[in-house]
Structure formats: structure tokens, C-alpha cells
Structure 1
Amino acid sequence: MKYGGAVVGGGLLAGCAGQSDSGSTPTDTEADEPSDTETPTPEDESYSVTMSPVGTVEFDAPPERMIAYDRQWLHMAYELGHGDAVAGFDDPGGTWFTLHESLPGVSFETEQIQSFVGEQVDKELIYEIGPDLIAMDPYRAPTLEGLDETDIEELRQNVAPFFANRYSVDRGYEGDRPYEYYTLYELYEKFAQALGEQERFEALRQVDEELTETIQADLPPESERPTVMQVSYFDGNFYTYDIEQGGYGTRHYRNVGSKSAIRETYGDDVPFEFGGTVDMETMLEIDPDILIQGSSLFYPEIDGVSHEGIVESVENEPGAQDLTAIQNDAFYPGGTPYAGPVAYLFYSELTAKYLYPETFGEYPGVGEIPEEEQLFDRQRVSEIVNGDI
């Protein structure tokens, strides 16, 4: 097997860099594009997939063993029926499938997964696992403890190709090398091509399109929509999040026509850095109709505190009772942007219910929505995940 000109033994994949490293600014890819997969001939069953920033990766067959860094790649592997190929992940002790577990007849076996990240990335354990594919953005990897550019090239040459695009989630790449941004389903298609699962991809994309059409057909006029602010509240601080940053991490807000409380207050002249903290005086100035705590859907507790505990702590902050969202009991749990397409189906549904309960029904909790008030077909999604297309 060859990858980047080096012979690699014992694996299934070979790839070669197909992208220049000359300076460039990131570009956006929003519309669906023709597949980058080459059509195999009867004599040649190999195929290739091109994705920024990894270039072109050539496959002799779908990978039988892979490791993943970031939950979205883990989700995609399982949602495409290849969960048994995942041998390593950065956080095996985490709650990966909180939302997926409400799908009927779907199970996610994770006992085979090892953690290759402790206080730092364990490069030697990656060698020991021996993956055919490393689902990790090579431009993200050097920012992690235990990996540098030399390590990345070594793993490429001696173990397996890298295959991921992390910064499309928030369009936050800050380097000077070429980098292309993709939508969630463009990235999902890349993984579907790599795993030979185009039919499952197309089926789930159809469910997503139908869900979005269902929600958008019943949206109230923009003037009647509530303002929304996503935060992460820890130790008395509100960490801010830009729900209009454009990456796929905010697609569910766009899908349901959300209005950013921050942008409604300040326009384009926001007086603080997103990701930083704001005090209660600023929160009262913004005064969102709805508050959403990031990531709390996936974690029963954050730093030992449940979502209900977080809400209680905010309610006890001086001045918090003057916040509209607190007065109306509208401080809800939210998801992490690092998630796969199935999670984003749930995100769109729950966000529609948070914002427009009169239209779509109130959100009672994970796995508790009555069937008649569900906005997408759980059974159909289960069939897709299980391969019953």
C-alpha cells in the first residue's frame, strides 16, 4: 500500500496529498457539488476521495479499523454502519449517543474503543491500534498536546492517512495554508464515499431536507420570532457563542429561523469577543428571550453540575430575575457542535420546539416527545442507521 510515496504495510488504504501548501485564504462550499469519488472500473476497484485539507486519499476498500478525534467523526462512522471499525477515540468515557439512544432498535457497541488521548495524544498507542484511517484534521492535530508537524507526517507515512475537516464547524481556521469549508452534509458525503455508504448518506439527507421543509413551512414572520442566545455558564461566568458564525455548528439555528439576541442588540459592532465572558450587566443589556446552555444535552453533568443546577445557579445571580429568559423559564439545554447528522436532526427539532412551542409543541426532554409531536420519523432514521434502506 502506498501513501504519499511511502510503502505502508498491513493496511487497506493509500493516499497522496492532492493540494498545494501555498498561501491561500479559506474558501466556502455551501452548494452541493458533484461527488469527488472516482468511478471504479471492473479491473480497478480502488477509489479516491478528495477533501480539504488532506487532499486526495485513495482507497482499495473501506477501512476496517479507524481512530477518531472529535465526536462528529465517531457519529458518522456509526451512522453509516461502520461503528465496529472504530478502535480509538479521544474520550471513550463520554456520553456520545445521548440523543441517538431514543431511536428504536438502534444500539451502539463501544466496548472495543480505546482512548488514545490522556494528558496528551498517545502516539505509541496509535501505532499499537494500527488504524487504516485517522479521522483527525491534520491542521488541528499539531494544536494537541503530544503531536507536532513531524508526528503528523510520521503517522501519515507509517500508519494511515488523516481524513477530517474540523474547522468547518465554526469556520475558525486561523492558519495561512489552503483550507476549504464544507456544510455538514458535504462532509458527511465525504465519509460516506470513504466508507462505501452513499445510499445511507442519500437516505439520511432526504430525512434532513424533509425535516427542514416541515419546520420552515410553519415559521412565524421574522418580527414575531424570539431572540436567542447560546452560552456556557460556569462558575459565575457567561461564555458567549455566535449563533450566526456560519459554520455547520449553527445550522440548526438557521434551519429554524433563529434571531441572535447579540446581533439584534449590537448589529455587527459586538463589543466583546465571542468565546469570552460577559457579566450580568451585559446579559441584561442583551436580554435574550431564550437562553440555551451549550453541550448540556450530551452531559448529565458539567463539572459536576446538572443542567437544572446550572439554571438554579443563574437564577441566584444578582439581577438574573430581570432576564426575560429566566422570568419565562426559557433556559434550555443545548447540544455540542461536534456532532454528526443524526444529532443535528434532533437539534433542529428541539430548537424549533424551544422557539415556537405553540406551533411545534413543547420540548419535554430527551426521548420523551410524543410520537404525534415528533418532527421527523425515528423509525425511518433507525432503518437507515441499521442499513435497512
Structure 2
Amino acid sequence: MSDNDSSTVRHEAPTRREYVKYGGVVVTGGLLAGCTGGNNSPTPDPESETETTEQKGYDAAIEPYGRATFDRPPETYATIGGAWTDFGFAFASEPTAISNLAEYPTRYYEQLPGVSFDTDGIINLGPRQEYGKEQFYELDVDMFLMDRILVANYAGWDEGDFEEITENVAPFTGSYIRNEWNGEEIGLEFEFPYYTFLEAISLAGELFNDPERATAFRELHEDFVSLLKSAAPESNPSAGLLYSASTPADGQFMIADPTVDGVATRQYRLFGVENAFAGIDLTDGWKTDYEGMLEADPEYIFVDSTLSIDRETFEEQFVTPLEESAVGSELTAVTEGNIFRGGGRYQGPVISLFVSEILAKQLYPDLFGEFPTLIDIPQDEQLFDRQRVADIINGDI
């Protein structure tokens, strides 16, 4: 590989960032290939054991793309703003850059003692559809903790674009884990997701070269899930999961499936929630009206990714129109008062704990306590140890 600017002065001994970006990502065949260090890989100095160790570095396998190689743990990274942002924060610090910073739910971190997500100085990448290679060059980060599948889908990047940025800036190290999707819309042959939630934690541990923290988070989640499942009744409540773009006032509902694999619906699967719309004919495979809602008649209605909306606004946009509709008012979820704000696509090692706790309280308030607001959950009704999470984030493992 060579620099795009042939006039750039090269160091005889590559800098730390040059180690990272020329380690690259290797992909054999298919779209979105990466780039290896090739003949530009530095030659270790046999007289310096420390230098040899640093130059050897480490690598991480990223399915389905290949391997990313680092000389040392990345200190700076950029994210799209989804689940991988939470993984990055859990293992390192705030991202250097993120898309649509105002939408990211930093309020969860505010509930952890001694933990803060400092938004000052974070670069807002803006709309994902407007990603340009120039702004990625300007970031000059150690790692792009984002899945290529979304960058390609949103911004229309192709294999050459990813090769160029990987070669000249840093590797892309995320993988699509939000939900089931085979990538056919943009011509990919891969099927996603490749990682379960716990596997994604392990991958983050490899990327940041921090297996101890990965183990701590995995054990924390395994214990938490065991607690929830042992306390919850053996039932499979039916739920209608709606996208937040739904407009009950207009009788338009965008349907999601709470049972599909992926981090975006993890909390629903933990409780064995059933998809109320399974078997219902949906327009374009994911839309329906009030008649379709009545046919499905879910016990619970959740609106995806609306936990950030205040209760008053949520009721105005979603609850009141359903209650005032002649058909909507007949729905079981409406008559029982089971219309809730739902968690969504941002779930990583930290946020998943909160949204799962909230769902437990929404489904079974008699067992787990009512869900008032995020900041008003009494300490004796909190289902996981906030201090333990903070300790892991802060490295006190």
C-alpha cells in the first residue's frame, strides 16, 4: 500500500497511529474488503524487547470481514451512534465522534455513580446519509467502531471506499448486530448478525485488548438474566412492537418483531415475549392499520426506542390516539393500560441492563416493582448493582 499523497514525509519508525491504520482489516472475497499491512509492516528491533512487544501488537477477528491489527489498544474511535457506542464506552471512554449526538441516550450513564459521558468535544458526524470520506480522514482516529453494513446502506459506500479509509486512516471494527438481516438490499452475500450479545462483549474485549473487563461484563449479564428468569413467571405474553414512526392518530402502524435475533430486541427475548403480529397479513411486510391491530390484539404494546420521550409527550403521541379511536379503544393493551415506551437499538453492556430492568417492571410490576421514571426507581427495587457496573467501566474489576 502507499499513501495517497506521495509528498507525505514517512518516518523510518512508524508512529503508533501508523501501526494501527496500516494493520488494516483483511477480507477474503466479497464486498467491503479491507487491507493488510503488507510490506509496510515494521521490522522489530531485536535489541529492544519493549519495542518488539509493541510492534507485534495484537489482532481481532471481525466476522464476516476479517481481522483488524493493532500495536496497542485504540485510544480514539468513532461510532455511528448505535449499540457499538455503548460497547466502546463500556470498555474505554467517550467516542471522538458520533452521528446525531443529541439522539444518543446518555441519560443511562447518569444513573451510575462516578461515571460520566462527557459530550463536550465530541464531534457530531451528522446524518449518516451524508457521510463523506473527507470527514473520516479529518477524524484521524485509531478505530471506526461501526459496522460497514450500515455505512454502505446509509451513505452508499462501496468496497473501494472502505479500502481507502482502512488503508489511510483506521480499520472498521463493528459488525451488524442490531437484528436479523441478510443484506440483500445492498447486494451483500453475508447473513447477520454474526454475534450474540455475549459474543459481541467478547469481541469488544478483543478490540480493546481487555479480556478481564469482557469477562466481568459477561458474568454480570449472565447473573442478571438468571435473576430475571428465575423470578419471572413462566408465561409468554403477546406484544405488539411498533416503530416510533407509527402514527396512531392517522391509523398507521409500523410493525417490528420482538422475537428476532439481535441486540435491539434482546430484552423481549429474555422474557419469552411472543410477536402478536405473527401470522397477520401486513402491508409491505411491516405495516398495518387499526383493523390489523385489532386482529392481532396484543396484550402489551411497546413503541420501540421511545424511552427517551417524556411520559406526557408519549401519551400525547401514542396513548391518547389509541384510547380515542373507536377501534383502538377495544384493544386489550389499551383497556388494560399496557401501552409502554420501549427500549431499542442502542443496547450494549450498560444500556441493556437498564432497558431489561425497565421491561421487567412494565411486564410484572407486582414482582419487580413499578417503573416510575429512570431516575425515580427506588434503590431497593433496582434489579442490578449500579456500583458494580460503574466499577467495571472504571477498571475496578
Gaps of at least 5 residues in structure 2 are 4-9, 32-48
Give the counterpart of 2:180 among 149, 171, 179.
Answer: 171
Is 1:261–1:288's contact at 8 Å kept on the other side of the alignment?
A: yes
AA partner of residue 254 (structure 1)? R
The 3 A distance-change label for structure 1 pair 157 and 300 is: farther
The question of whether the paired residues in 2 share the 8 Å contact of 1:227 and 1:290 is answered with yes
Q: What is the CA distance between 1:183 and its match in structure 2? A: 0.6
Q: Any conservation in 2 of the 1:141–1:152 contact (CA below 8 Å)?
A: no
For the 8 Å contact 2:87–2:349, the answer to whether it is kept is yes
Q: How much does 1:171 deviate?
A: 1.9
Q: CA deviation at 1:242?
A: 0.5
Identify the range of structure 1 (142-151 vs 335-344) with the bigger mean alpha-carbon deviation.
Answer: 142-151
Where does residue 309 of structure 1 map in the other structure? 316
- Is 1:201 the counterpart of 2:210? The answer is no
Instruction: State the TM-score, normalized to the length of structure 1.
Output: 0.84
Q: Report the residue type matching 1:309 in the other structure.
A: E
**Distance in structure 2 (CA, Å) of the matches to 1:307 and 1:378:** 27
Q: Residues 200, 153 of structure 1: CA spacing in aligned structure 2 closer, same or farther, 3 A cutoff? A: same
Match of 2:378 in 1: 370
Residue identity over aligned pairs, in percent, reads 31
Relative to its length, the structure with more helix (as a share) is: 2
Question: What is residue 136 of structure 2 aligned with on the other side?
Answer: 126
Name the CA distance, whole Å, in 1 between partners of 2:208 and 2:111.
25
Letter in 2 for 1:73: W
Change in CA separation of 1:93 and 1:70 when aligned onto 2, cut-off 3 Å = closer
Aligned residues: 357
Name the amino acid aligned to 1:306: T
- Aligned-pair distance for 1:158? 1.2
Structure 1 pair 317/12, CA: closer, same or farther in 2 (3 Å)?
Answer: farther
Who is 1:89 aligned against?
Answer: 98
Q: 1:122 to 1:306 in 2, by over 3 A?
A: farther
The farther-off stretch of 286-295 and 173-182 is: 173-182
| Matched residue type, 1:193 | E
Of residues 238, 241, 244 in structure 1, which corresponds to 2:259? 244
Larger deviation, residues 272-281 vs 370-379: 272-281
Could you tell me how far apart the structure 2 residues matched to 1:99 and 1:348 are? 12
Higher relative contact order by CA 8 Å / sep ≥ 6: 1 or 2? Answer: 1
1:36-115 to 2 correspondence within 5 Å? 43-45=52-54, 46-83=57-94, 86-115=95-124
Matched residue SS, 2:86: helix
Aligned equivalent of 1:184: 197
Q: Contact conserved, 1:228 with 1:261, CA < 8 A, in 2?
A: yes
The Cα offsets for residues 20-46 of structure 1, whole Å up to 9 and x where unpaired, read as 2259xxxxxxxxxxxxxxxxx974341
Q: Alpha-carbon deviations, 1:4-32, whole Å to 9, x = none?
A: xxx99743414344442259xxxxxxxxx
Distance 1:358 1:161, change over 3 A: same
Structure of higher CA gyration radius: 2
CA contact (8 A) 2:108 2:354 kept: yes
In 2, the alpha carbon distance for the partners of 1:210 and 1:202 equals: 12
User: How well do the aligned residues superpose, as a CA RMSD in angstroms?
Assistant: 2.7
Which residue does the alignment assign to 1:161?
A: 171
Following the alignment from structure 1 to structure 2, what is the Cα–Cα distance between the partners of residues 116 and 185?
28
Unaligned runs of 5+ in 1: 24-40
> In structure 2, the residue corresponding to 1:228 is in which secondary structure?
strand
